[in-house]
Structure 1
């Protein structure tokens, strides 16, 4: 069957659903309106472009394929996404992991379209939907700056807000501006259920505009953006796990809470996560995934069992063998992400840190000065990547002994035999995964 004929099909396969959740949602429509020829042709052109990109070794093709489709039909995203139950996942950290977890959970119900390759701008979102035209569900991670536009196109059933923290200024902008834009977008979609982080002040401020809210409490490790109120600029008062401002903005009481490896549900039951992914950050992501999946009809214990099958996220946390070394691959893109990554590094293992500054990373590297690299003191550290000189300067000020090797693979090979912890930002990680067999 050709792509065009398949895309024009009006009937979907029957959907098996879990029905023992009080929060289950009506099944997506089983009849899809005929898609306009312009959209079908644009999607086909995008797929062809993506195939050519992959064949030429230029990348996975998701972004360029979606870009071509949108250029040929600006309404393609709305048309390709209609009649689906859509979950959007956004935040500075954890989008890819949480989206994958929700996808795994919802696959207990039916087929799910997802941009699991991390292409989270409109081009990648469109490509993911076009690749699975018959999927009644879609779980899409979206860059926080594009959420307003994507939400207007797709009218999501659920929007998951993980956290908001400072990132690359040249690419993302000032984090409080992002909060204001999200707050406005949420107010424009009163029927969307917002699954929001009650411990993040900026997220809580944005989510208070929602007509339907589910609060999740997971604790906070990054507090660098939580000293002042986003509503009145007043000083935030922190008392143990709670925060509040004199203007009335305060930590909402969460319906879902993370306690170690357990998640407490709104009914007071406890679900044991027992994840195969390391660190508190991944357990927090799982709590959000359980809450979102439960909203759409997946019981928490069913969702948790499916989450335990995840061993890596697009190569992250995977351990590979390279000659004399056992290399664990990790991704860290901004200060909040580094807080979590530094906590899971093995203390006795050499560390290779790779940093690029391409368009997808953000060309502004001022965020390096917000990362507490001092935690690497006393370890064997190698800096690498296109901007290893910038990283070397930062480590000098952190009083971390290190040496530089611009080529990341050569940096690994130069270390003594044994384990290696390799931490890279976005494009450095992507390039390494392409170069290391088994990654």
Structure 2
């Protein structure tokens, strides 16, 4: 335990009450969960509220470009074996949303918190975490996100000397460089499918060498650390060399990697791998991701992919051709307004799939698919796209706000 802090101050209690009231009003008005606006109001009234709410918790922070929400959910399930857990399960991962989530955790022992990459250092300073999980770093939201090496440098400087146990992916050079300033790191061989953001050494700028699964810089000697945990096929290898089977209802290699990192985090809190991995089987879908829903006589599997690394992982888990695929891309504020990232995605991996394109930026995507020599149809909306597909399963891949639009349309 982090040690019981004093009960919340009167000011903090007023802030929590006001935040919950505003959130309830927002929900009643049909404007979403209200967690972000509620958290903003609460933090305005007590700027130190996040730290106060975390005071009685053993906190784990989870940050990455891809896989944060799913890994947070898997860790939360695993830690329930050791005690009550509070978590921002819906993915509101900036300080306001995190504050709202923790406000509901007065009786919890553990806090498992997904944190946006840009806010990780500040949230870590406020919450004094026992564990920080760092999964990957790649390009995302090009119009406003820091270049990946700058983000890694921010982590490296901000986490230097942290008392937290850092569980980090040994296969991502940017993550390794960021985590290496911490005195207590547990390395996990979780794999790295997308390598295009890590060809130059984050330490000296030299060219990274990548023989097999290894990597190193030929100029400064920066190299892959020896992992103590590893994903090996359908098993997690623990530091003692024991292999524990992964049984997930979530699809794909990326989720097995998330499970391996989650098992390493759970072990920090004394939950054995077998118990942790068995509990992870409970997770069927995460904020609508991977759900299969009935719509117009078809089975739609909803898949979220927000950036090139995410699309690459998603292509690896869809049904083989000729399974139809619907792609939807928006470029609203939450997505990032720059769609040039579409040119970094290898859409030739969809060859043989009938493709329908929808979303605000369907024409941007259509141009990209044309250049990739793919067969596709541009549709007005999801309804038209589904009608063009034969009965059976349809893989639906969408970026962030497009995914929310789809969930609303299918009633998920």
Smaller-chain TM-score bracket:
over 0.9
The answer on whether the counterparts of 2:169 and 2:191 sit within 8 Å (CA) in structure 1 is no
Q: State the Cα deviation string for residues 197-216 of structure 1 (Å, max 9, x = none).
A: 00000001111101100000
Establish whether residue 341 from structure 1 lines up as the match of residue 314 from structure 2.
yes
Per the TM alignment, residue 41 of structure 1 is displaced from its structure 2 partner at its CA by 0.9
**Correspondent of 1:184 among 137, 157, 180:** 157
1:429 and 2:371 equivalent? no
- Are positions 1:382 and 2:356 aligned together? yes
1:413 is displaced (CA, Å) by 3.3
CA contact (8 A) 2:59 2:128 kept: yes
Counterpart secondary structure, 2:187 = strand
CA distance in 1, matches of 2:71, 2:80: 14
| Residue 237 (structure 1) aligned with residue 209 (structure 2) | yes
Count of residue pairs the alignment pairs up? 410
Checking the alignment, whether the CA contact within 8 Å between 1:317 and 1:330 is kept in structure 2 is: yes
Instruction: Tell me the CA shift for residue 428 of structure 1.
Output: 1.2
Given the alignment, which residue of 37, 40, 48 partners 2:13?
40
- CA separation in 1, counterparts of 2:400 and 2:203? 32
2:335 to 356, 361, 373: 361
Equivalent position to 2:54, from 64, 76, 81: 81
- What's the counterpart of residue 224 of structure 1? 196
Structure-1 separation of matches of 2:68 and 2:206: 30
Partner of 1:131: 104
* 1:154-303 equivalence runs, <5 A: 154-189=127-162, 191-245=163-217, 246-303=219-276
CA offsets, 1:352-411, max 9 Å, x none? 111111111111111111111111123211111111111111111111121112422442
Q: Supply the distance in 2 between the matched residues of 1:249 and 1:56 (Cα, whole angstroms).
A: 53
Determine if contact 1:409/1:432 at 8 Å carries over to the other structure. Answer: no
Q: CA deviation at 1:244?
A: 0.8
The question of whether the paired residues in 2 share the 8 Å contact of 1:42 and 1:68 is answered with yes
Conservation of the 8 A alpha-carbon contact between 1:96 and 1:141: yes
Write out aligned runs for 1:403-422 (5 A): 403-422=377-396
In 1, the alpha carbon distance for the partners of 2:378 and 2:87 equals 38
TM-score by length of structure 2 reads: 0.97
TM-aligned CA deviation for residue 28 of structure 1:
4.1
Equivalent residue of 1:205, what SS? Answer: helix
Partner of 1:6: none
Q: TM-score, normalised by structure 1?
A: 0.91
Gaps of 5+ in 2: none
1:416 deviation in Å? 2.7
1:307 aligns with 2:280: yes
Partner SS, residue 118 of structure 1: coil
Bigger shift: residues 53-62 or 262-271: 53-62
Q: Return the alpha-carbon distance in structure 1 between the equivalents of residues 58 and 376 of structure 2.
A: 50
Among residues 366, 370, 381, which one is paired with 2:344 in the alignment?
370
Q: Which residues of 2 match residues 316-327 of structure 1 at below 5 A? A: 316-327=289-300
* SS of residue paired to 2:316: helix
Structure 2: distance between partners of 1:135 and 1:408: 41
- Residue deviations 1:244-297, cap 9 Å, x none? 113121000000011100111001111001211111000000000000000111
1:37 CA displacement: 1.4
Deviation at 1:68?
1.3
Partner Cα separation in structure 2 for residue 346 and residue 387 of structure 1: 25
Deviations 1:310-343 (A, max 9, x none): 1111111111111321111110001111111001
Inter-partner Cα distance in structure 2 for 1:410 and 1:186:
49
* 8 Å contact kept, 2:2–2:55: no
1:43-82 superposed matches below 5 A: 43-82=16-55
Mapped partners of 2:396, 2:272: distance in 1: 36
- Which residue of 360, 381, 393 corresponds with 2:367? 393
In angstroms, what is the RMSD of aligned CA positions? 1.2
In structure 2, what is the Cα distance between the partners aligned to 1:290 and 1:261?
13
For the 8 Å contact 1:388–1:406, the answer to whether it is kept is: no
Relative to structure 1, the CA distance from residue 409 to residue 32 in structure 2 (aligned partners, 3 Å threshold; closer, same or farther) is: farther
- Does the Cα contact within 8 Å between 1:277 and 1:311 map onto a contact in 2? yes
